[in-house]
Structure 1
Amino acid sequence: MTLSSETAPTARTPRGIHRAWGVAAVAGLTIVVAGAFSTMPGLLLTPLHEEFAWSRGSIGFASSVNMVLYGVTAPFAAALMDRFGIRRVVACALLVIAVGALLTTVMNAVWQLVLFWGLLVGLGTGSMAMAFAATVTNRWFVRRHGLVTGILASAGVLGQMVFLPLLAWVVDTLGWRPANVSLALGALVVGPLAWLLLRDHPADVKLKAYGAAEFTPKPAPVPGAARRAVRVLREAATTTPFWLMATAFAICGASTNGIMWTHFTPAAHDHGMPTTVAASLLAAIGVFNVAGTVSSGWLTDRCDPRRLLAAYFGLRGLLLLFLPLMMSPTVQVPMVGFVVLFGLLDLATVPPIIALCRAFYGEDSAIVFGWVNAAHQVGAALIAFAAGVARDLLGSYDTVWVAIGVLCAVAAMLSLTIRTRPAAQQSETTRPVHC
């Protein structure tokens, strides 16, 4: 498809702020709202246990279903956007998570928590994960691609950081139902904005992508994208690096989303710390996430990503091993140190994993990373459930922290066993410095 001389002038970008930045801003807002939903499981565990007498294991199982669906949905989300468009998928996803959150306020059985929060909210938030950010960036930006990707990737953490203390206060003073209603209302408000302001492609408004030299017509819908995602998984699954990365990243999910974001607040509460204080500590971890991720990206360009992964997992494991000794009713200096260091390490594993996927799988690396990230969520889900069961049986989380610390040591060793391509197959521009 080519442009005629009559239509070509309308493709020029007008002076002023490019429409792409507005699309990115709306996309970031939707990711922030979706990120806020990931903060709730840790805040819901104790209130639901006290009100319904449900076991922590069964509540953790609902969170596990949510995490698994969040991860598994992500590789297919881009395919849905290629087929039906960004606006439709995002608007529907926001509606689904709003309905799921509202339905939890009238539930009276644990299977309903699994259905409403686990299934509906998991599917909705999974549709607005990294695949959504990558799709928006790839379509709307040629220049500033890395900057926009980093901003949108950190938007979910921003949602956790901004909303967690507020939601903790609402749960503490008004109850868990008003907190869920507040999240649902936020999704319902952002949904129409996404529908009105998002556009699937720059060609929809007769613009070039930001930084593009030429106008690109809107591509036709791609009905076979989902089949490609499955094909890439099938091919990657025959290689050793995929399983090493997937296993290490599953442990990464277990030691972050699975235990910290789901069980840190109730664990701190077991030691007498107020829920709002524990939630504020988690929010502070989110603040240091941004600095840690940016620094890790800078290091990944200069160092062997395998060694970076090993260092990150090793340090994270040490922190978790000593965490039970730092728990107390008030925030002490060791806990402040833990928050800073864990925050710097929390998302630092992402740039090295993406770099390794790119080194081994080339053009399919984004899809492969999507599946590796699905393993991350599966690991998170298993620990979210297992930690709740362990708390029910043992009366504390101390054993869980130690076990996860040992698993991090295993992940560090797995990272070092990933074999890089022979030097002859690497270009001078992509070969990292082995620091």
Structure 2
Amino acid sequence: METTVILAAAHADTGDTAWLLAATALVLLMTPGLALFYGGMVRTKSVLNMLMMSFVSIALVTAVWLAAGYSLAFGDDIGGGLIGGLKHVGMAGIGPDSVHGTVPTLLFATFQLTFAIITAALISGAIADRVKFSAWLIFVPVWALLVYVPVTHWVWGPGGWIANHLGALDFAGGLPVEITSGASGLALCLVLGPRLGFKKDAMRPHNLPMVMLGAGLLWFGWFGFNAGSALGANGLAAAAFLNTLAAGCTGLLGWLFVEQKRDGHPTTLGAASGAVAGLVAITPSCGAVSLLGALVVGLAAGVVCSYAVGWKFTFDYDDSLDVVGVHLVGGVIGTLLIGVFAIGTMTGGPEGLLYGGGLAQLGKQLVAVVAVAAYAFLVTYGIGKLIDKAMGFRASEEQEHTGLDLTVHAETAYDHGVLGHGAPVSSSVLSPAQKVKSPS
């Protein structure tokens, strides 16, 4: 009863609310941006399937989040820092006058929903070109409830063990978003196995302008992702905003430097990937490090991730669009470097190694990274195996060879998409409209 009185007496700040409304829209835009980014990186025969995996994640995760996800992630803790309660199932008890800090609770819940959406969509890049769409429809809501929701409670929920007991820092999602999606992507890579022709056939991006456009939209939305996590229109949001811009720039430059040195050519794909790597790494640390720290975090991610994307060929796992090499590795870099570059003027207390904090914070960050990565990998592997046994997770060889666009969705992204890719296509996979001959 006392809590109800407090909520009723509280009032949302109009400036903070306006900023978070805009930030929420920016983060939602990141998922269509990711769809374009991934869509440009695959071959022409799977473009639409890649777009669909991102867009359908918006609908699936929204349903799960509103039904139970928000309550389990941000409800009062009932399990020793492991999970929230069911008080707000179906968003029960949360009206337009309820306030979370200085913003409406409904807006806070929607803002957090956009994080859950893009995290699920990110995983699709690791298993591009070879997934049954029906299996993806089952995987996404189950994964969101069993993996994303608990980790989010650990990191940001009331009483969550990582934030409240361990004391690790994560401002905008290095643990629940980047490391969780990367570790989960690796697990599904192992469940599904490599694409047909992996390490033999050229699997180059089919549309680099689309990749660059997607990267640009991601960068644009990332300001809402990181600066919005301040939950207010304030100085911390401004610092996170600038840190985000700076790290994206040094990530881009670091990746291009490696490409020039190693390959002799700076590429557009490298520029897009480097910017994303820098943005991934600064996500957990944008509210903890100074501008100098942000520049170093972005540069470290751009350089290290440019090498990490090649590990799949060494260790023989087929991470189709480098989710492991960019999001897992970049997330680990950004989360760990908080323990080195955290500064009290940003964190309000904890400091990293370079600012007199010793190794304590670095140790906390390391424990959090290992725990989240291990949990996400193991649970996702289990979910993937169960779905594979129940209905099959991987598309058939014929579907993969011909292309998922035509065989699953009965569409092609381009008029010439049916020609020159794979075996002749049976008319049984064509829609009635596609069976009609063109007048030309």
TM-score, normalising length: structure 1:
0.32
> Whose relative contact order is higher, 1 or 2, with alpha carbons under 8 Å and at least 6 apart?
1
Q: TM-score, normalised by structure 2?
A: 0.31
